[in-house]
Amino acid sequence: MSEATFTFRVDDALKKQFAMAAKERDRTGAQLLRDFMREFVQQHQDAADHEDWFPRQVQAGLNSANAGRLTPDDQVEERFAARREATRRRLEPSR
């Protein structure tokens, strides 16, 4: 992995506060900035992936409904009522 230098201007007081906060966490400012950059890039990628995934899911649902593959409301309610009850039982304190 090749490395590059990233230079930018920042208020001197902010730089000092950042360096002190980093030192209190046994990290350098550069380590924290690299961590932030990695997290930011990952969040951006996750958002882009979701923006690609979501319309495909909606279209799949529409296609299924248009093809007549629907579950009646009473069956859905019955299924989820059972799931809610199972969750309640798990959450109840043991007697």
Give the tens place of pLDDT for each residue, 36-49.
Answer: 999 999 999 999 99
- Does 5 fall in a domain? no
Residue 95's pLDDT is 59
- Does 7 fall in a domain? no
pLDDT tops 90 at residue 93: no
The residue segments making up the domain with residue 86 are 12-91
pLDDT tops 90 at residue 94: no
- For residues 53 and 66, what is the distance between their CA atoms, to the nearest angstrom? 20
Whether 33 and 42 have beta carbons less than 8 Å apart is answered as no
pLDDT tops 90 at residue 54: yes
- Does 6 fall in a domain? no
Number of folded domains in the chain?
Answer: 1
Residue 52's pLDDT is 97
pTM to 2 decimal places: 0.64
